A and B are shown apart, each in its own frame.
Chain A
């Protein structure tokens, strides 16, 4: 009877469905990128990390070298503490590397851009970045812009 054919086709159908689910999980979502244990962790404190998310990219010279692994708030210093996990292959970052939060495109995501300093010693697990620049918050930018006009007016008078 053709039961055997039917069973084969049904098996293919289920395999196709599972493959679709797998494809969605792997290629269309953030599932596979989160590598918990590889790489080394460093921290950086910022005044403002608006828009930065866990798993946001950490780049240097435009190349992604790590990810944001945790964001917490330090209630004594009133700063945001960002933990960054850098892939093991990039061990030569100098200790005075600076971190800034940038935006990728107009509606794009926030990411952390690192710039190398000149220190001889390299960053190790648990080190802290000293030079940081916070993310740009649009409202603050606009108010600064408006303020500059007001000042200009005052000067002209």
Chain B
């Protein structure tokens, strides 16, 4: 479960209002475990910042945020690391490691989690087959197209079967067929118990896959059910 209680986030010097900018404010909401949410809103509304809060890259400057049962403000560094291993993130800019192959990029979360190499190999090859990158496993990210990089980033985010999956514009570089395939994967993971939050501008995609939506406007959130 994810629980926001009067959460605000301000960029800039800590504790100073002058020279800082409040990006998120008065966020109070609950996302139950195993649910699916769209995250909608215009550019600059704070979607990426909210994603970074959920990915534990940022800490709220005000209020309380609980992710997967832990209060992120008071959790120890070890607890936060363990929490991050249960969270899969698809970044808008992919954030692949350029000096590693596609295979090693996708295998990374499993290696960090200490899985046996034999199991890693089987899982990664299966995942690469699923996202259509079987023939590109030895390629470096800079040799991939935008769509291939996005699929690599998605494979890395889901390979460890996370409890929470957050994706920032995951279909931006994918064609319609690949985007639908990706949505099928997200929905299947959601059916198996993963909480999925997808930020997107793709209204057609949202319309095809109706689900409750969190709409961010000017740093504040409005929860609503998307149009079916």
Q: Do A and B bind each other?
A: no
**Could you tell me which B residues sit within 8 Å of A by CB distance?**
none
Hey, which bits of chain A sit against chain B, CB under 8 A? none
